[in-house]
Structure 1
Amino acid sequence: MDRTRSSSTSRRTLLKACTALVVAVTVPAVVGTPAFAAVPASPAVTFTNPIAEQRADPHIHKHTDGYYYFTATVPAYDRIVLRRATTLQGLATAAETTIWTKHASGDMGAHIWAPEIHFIDGKWYVYFAAGASNDIWKIRPYVLESSSANPVTGTWTEKGRIALPLDTFSLDATTFVVNGTRYLSWAQNDPAVGTGTNLYLAKLANPWTISGTPVMISSPTNAWETIGHRVNEGPAVIQRNGRVFMSFSASATDANYCLGLLTASASADLLNPASWTKSSQPVFASNASTGQYGPGHNTFTVSEDGKSDVLVYHDRNYKDISGDPLNDPNRRTRYQKLYWNADGTPNFGIPVSDGATPVRFSSFNYPDRYIRHWEYRAKLEANVTNLADSQFRIVTGLTGSGTVSLESANFPGYYLRHKNYELWVEKNTGTATFLADASFTRRAGLADPAGVSFESYNFPGRYIRHYNGLIQLQPLSTSLDQQDATYYTE
């Protein structure tokens, strides 16, 4: 039993007189007393996946001009494309322009891979990898530059190859700044280390020139990094609360492709490999239940209001591939919200089903707690690190009639339904009873119109509310009842 609820009767009597005064006020949490929530600092963002068919290795830059700029690998491996829109979803239908085409011969003549667009010191730069027309596996990193305000229509010049001490297979260059110092990270093979690719880091003297001696900060040593190939590649950086998180892709580019995570303190010497700690397991991997395979080569961006972090990545919606997966064109660009655990670490969750992305429901009066399922029973709990247990997709109600239904993120086809006035996550049986039990009328939050409340379709007047740590379907008679039945989407 939820200890904060064990003396609920006496607490409810005490609170009845004062709830009207505190509904709109945020107060600090006290043991045994709810902390009434303001609208969450990171409200829900939803997208409709996939965003771009046949676009792998996506990269997005949100610029100060109000546009998002998107580039990615095209299956022909022969050009660099760019599109822009004022919204993330808008990139799905934005016009696409080819800003650069591979050389007819020599270097930069084959395998144009993984472009990234960055804005550095007033100019645009695209980092990309390319092979040679006469040696397509002579993959090396290169840089383009544009001083135009609009990089989609502007002129691009070649700054050439990024010179690295080792003249070996190297790709996936990315750049980021920590405490005023700009770094370059990339993947490269070192025959002295072994087959496959490792992750390297160096300072930049300018956007196309490294400074000093690069250091290897990660090599593929875990079983999940070495399936099919020994791979660490596609580094991408996000920073939060004094820590630097670098995601990377591992294993072959089929269904075994996945994301790992390196973590360092922002105050540490990032060029000291000992400053970085690697996750013991993948942080993002294939999921058969949602039909998503080989998620990887990601980047990070932010929502339009800047309040939510967004994970951008590619995957396929099937597992079996004929031949070399590099010749399969169907990796798609996808989005979903990136969440953060209570300990300050990122929570990637699972690659969610195609269609509308899910949300979480946080409690109005216990803002650190979320509706989640555990052994199919709906509960209200904090620190739900198995993120998908607390994610639901808001879909058209199974009964129609202006209702909504809440579909489980990690059990597609399973819905939140009431049974004996308890809320469970169960598979849709298609019966009239199930359809009605799993349908709700969405209302403005009863304790705060900025929130949401859900009224039963077949038991009008009863709402989804939490009580003693469990999710129930109950009638509401007090302001505290209304608070228990109010949630925010995150």
Structure 2
Amino acid sequence: MTPRPSTPSRRALLRAMAALPASALVLGELPGLLGTAAAAAPASGSATRYTIVPFLNSNDGTVNVYQSDDATDFRLLRASAYTPAAGRIRDASVLRHTDGYYYLTYTTHTWQDVSTTIGFARSFDRVNWTFLYDYPVPITNLSRAWAPEWFVDSDGSVHVIVSCSTADNEWIFTPYALKATDSDLTAWSSPVALSGIGSNHIDTYIVRIGSTYHAFTKNETAKYIEYGTASSLTGPYTISRTGDWAGWGSYREGPSVIQLDNGGWRIFFDGYGDGSYYYSDSYDTFATWTAPKALPGISGTARHFTVVKETVSGGASITRNATRSFQSANYPSRYWAEQSALLNLPVVSGSSATADKQAATFTVVAGLADANGYSFRDASGNYLRHYNFRARFDANDGTTTFAKDATFIARVGSATGSVRFESYNYPGYYLRHYNYQLRVDVSDGTDLFRQDSSFVPVTAWG
């Protein structure tokens, strides 16, 4: 990637200051709050929607709004959707509240300036935002209040986790919790420090699973995102993972964690050290993580954000227990067809041989790993699955791995009536044609990829 000019990172200042003398959601419990949904593929007639509201690498005075149906391929919904009348907007965290509105809270000043307030704005549709107020965080000798993050507890209480420093040591941050004391989110309790996390931690993001609070927090001294747990929101937390424990590397900040449709967990973080934005997934409740990947399309443009996940109406659906053929959206003379147990994309027409038409006909059934997903059988009863990323047909061996390999989540395609099929166990990977062969590849965020991975269910050839 070619380096681009950018707004100076607050972390650049912190790195410089280090050489000088020293002078947050409950997932799966409250549908709609922070967009949380159950860990399952969206049911017929509904779709998953992820929304982010990042400030820009080139401008910390405004935010864009992006949305995605898979938490990987984010597309611009509105540029410069909200620009405060005064101050800046950095580190915006977004919440879907019980009143139906979306709320932003954000850092109100750039890193050069004293910043003792956090900002609030509201929107009904995610694209038209109204400024609400700047809230003075009531901490004695406060110097900076940065990176406020929403957190909703299991009792429905709404909190903001904010990183604060005082004038006697303005570059040493401590996370504090503020609790909303009214349903309008205009009054707040006194700040309470999160105990156990320790000083010089910033960008603390909280996830609650069952009775355990999980904290992801940036150690500003070591430059790594650390991890700890507690039995209450304010602690004490035990930090159990330090250094490069997850393989994400150093100079990472702004973690945000959400649950995917397949039950896995995804963390997003700002790779401010190299100018990229990353994601990484865990399937063992945060013990291990996949190698980080740069977010397609917005890496290098978007900065520090959190994610709202919602289940909304619409989406893609296909009739189950019916035979269908699948036509390429951008090569309409070509269809899925089984050839030597592999799925290819040959030309099929009314003059094709009967055997070729039968090879292009499949039975759509409920997903083996998730009934809201889809699996596909050939005439012999073998299932479409990915193996070494190639799409092929094999007999169901009854294993969990096979069931996941053979399950796909339907997403809306690039053309009217078309569908994209996302791998259930490789989120962000789609069935797509390449050299007229079908494989699962990770989305690169381009229109061409969306077209190559879009197929129209049509009347069966066979």
Q: What's the TM-score, normalizing by structure 2?
A: 0.51
1:182 aligns with 2:207: no
Confirm or deny: 8 A CA contact 1:128 1:141 kept in the other structure.
Answer: yes
Instruction: Give 5+ residue unaligned stretches, structure 1.
Output: 1-36, 271-275, 309-340, 346-357, 393-407, 411-415, 417-423, 426-451, 453-463, 467-477, 482-490
**Letter paired with 1:277:** T
Pairing 1:347-358 to 2, within 5 Å after superposition = none
1:173 to 204, 212, 224: 204
- How much is the aligned-residue C-alpha RMSD, in angstroms? 4.5
| Deviation for aligned residue 1:372 | 5.2
Aligned residue in 2 for 1:265? 284
How far did residue 124 of structure 1 move? 2.2
Matches within 5 A, 1:85-124: 85-87=123-125, 89=126, 92-102=127-137, 106=141, 108-110=142-144, 112-120=145-153, 121-124=155-158
Match of 1:278, SS?
coil
Select the residue among 296, 300, 303 that pairs with 1:293: 300
Matching of residues 135-284 of structure 1 within 5 Å: 135-151=169-185, 154-164=186-196, 166=198, 168-189=199-220, 195-205=222-232, 207=233, 209-211=234-236, 213-216=238-241, 219=244, 225=249, 230-240=250-260, 243-249=263-269, 251-252=271-272, 256-266=275-285, 276-284=287-295
- The answer to whether the Cα contact below 8 Å between 1:245 and 1:262 also exists between their aligned partners in 2 is yes
Report SS of the residue matched to 2:130: coil
Q: Is the 8 A contact 2:281 2:290 kept in 1?
A: yes
CA contact (8 A) 2:218 2:252 kept: yes
Residue number in structure 2 paired with 1:474: none
Rounded Cα–Cα distance in structure 2 between residues aligned with 1:217 and 1:188: 9
> Which among 16, 30, 49 is matched to residue 78 of structure 2?
49
CA shift, 1:114, in A, is: 0.9
Taking a change above 3 Å as real, the CA distance of residues 304 and 145 of structure 1, as seen in their structure-2 partners, is: same
CA distance in 2: counterparts of 1:115 and 1:156, whole angstroms: 13
Q: How far 1:128 sits from its partner (Å)?
A: 0.8
Partner of 1:460: none
Asked if 2 retains the 8 angstrom alpha-carbon contact of 1:69 and 1:117, the reply is no
Structure-2 separation of matches of 1:386 and 1:236: 21
**2: CA distance, partners of 1:200 / 1:302:** 22
State whether residues 100 and 156 of structure 1, in contact with CA within 8 Å, keep that contact through their aligned partners in structure 2: no
Deviations 1:320-379 (A, max 9, x none): xxxxxxxxxxxxxxxxxxxxx98979xxxxxxxxxxxx964597699679795747xxx6
Distance 1:366 1:171, change over 3 A: closer
The 5-angstrom pairing of residues 262-411 of structure 1 reads 262-266=281-285, 276-284=287-295, 293=300, 295-303=302-310, 305=312, 360-361=414-415, 374=434, 381=438, 383=440, 385-388=441-444, 392=447, 408=448
Q: Which has the larger radius of gyration?
A: 1
**Aligned partner letter, 1:278:** W
Figure out how many residues of one structure are paired with residues of the other and give that number: 292
Matched ranges for 1:399-478 at <5 A: 408=448
Contact kept? 1:220, 1:231, Cα under 8 Å: no
Q: Which runs of 5+ in 2 are unaligned?
A: 1-42, 50-67, 70-74, 316-384, 387-400, 406-411, 424-429
Partner of 1:66: 100
Alpha carbons of 1:74 and 1:409: their partners in 2 closer, same or farther (altered >3 Å)? Answer: farther
**Mapped contact 2:48–2:309 kept (Cα < 8 A):** no
Offset at residue 299 of structure 1 (A): 2.0
In 1: Cα distance, 2:163 partner to 2:456 partner: 53
Please give the alpha-carbon distance, in whole angstroms, between the structure 1 residues aligned to 2:189 and 2:456.
Answer: 60
Q: 1:258 Cα shift?
A: 2.3
TM-score by length of 1: 0.48
SS of residue in 2 equivalent to 1:157: coil
1:84 paired with 2:122, answer yes
Q: Is the 8 A contact 2:413 2:419 kept in 1?
A: no
Q: Take 1:74 and 1:221, find their aligned partners in 2: how far apart are those partners?
A: 31
- Contact 1:237 1:244 survives alignment (8 Å): no
CA separation in 2, counterparts of 1:55 and 1:185?
22
Taking the aligned partners of 1:465 and 1:123, their CA distance within structure 2 comes to: 45
Asked if 2 retains the 8 angstrom alpha-carbon contact of 1:140 and 1:171, the reply is: yes
Tell me, yes or no, if the aligned pair for 2:266 and 2:282 is still in contact at 8 Å: yes
Equivalent AA in structure 2 for residue 94 of structure 1: W
Tell whether the 8 Å contact from 1:260 to 1:281 is kept in structure 2 after alignment: yes
1:214 positional shift: 2.5
Deviation, structure 1 residue 262: 4.5
1:202 to partner: Cα distance:
1.2
Residue 150 of structure 1, CA deviation? 0.7
Structure 2 counterpart of 1:71, which letter?
T
SS of match in other structure, 1:388: coil
**1:127 Cα deviation after fit:** 0.6
Q: Note closer, same or farther for the CA distance 1:282–1:359 as it changes in structure 2 (3 Å cut).
A: same
Q: Conserved in 1, the CA contact under 8 Å of 2:216 and 2:225? A: no
CA-CA distance at 1:148 after TM superposition: 0.4
Question: Which letter maps to 1:265?
Answer: D
Please tell me whether the aligned partners of residues 118 and 148 of structure 2 are also in contact (alpha carbons under 8 angstroms): yes
- Tell me the SS of whatever aligns to 2:444: helix
Question: Does the 8 Å CA contact 2:46/2:312 hold for their aligned counterparts?
Answer: no
> What is the percentage of aligned positions where both structures have the same residue?
16
Partners of 1:72 and 1:249 in 2: CA distance: 16
DSSP 3-state at the match of 1:96: strand
Question: Hey, what's the Cα distance between the residues in 1 that align with 2:139 and 2:261?
Answer: 47
- The one-letter amino acid paired with 2:308 is T
Cα distance, 1:57–1:381 mapped onto 2, change above 3 Å: farther
Alignment partners' CA distance in 2, 1:126 and 1:380:
49
**SS at 2:305 equivalent:** strand
SS at match of 2:312: coil
Measured in 2, the distance between the counterparts of 1:71 and 1:244 equals: 27
Instruction: State the SS of the aligned residue for 1:265.
Output: coil
Distance of aligned partners of 1:74 and 1:257 in 2 relative to their CA distance in 1, 3 Å threshold = farther
Equivalent-residue separation in structure 2 for 1:80 and 1:186 (angstroms): 19
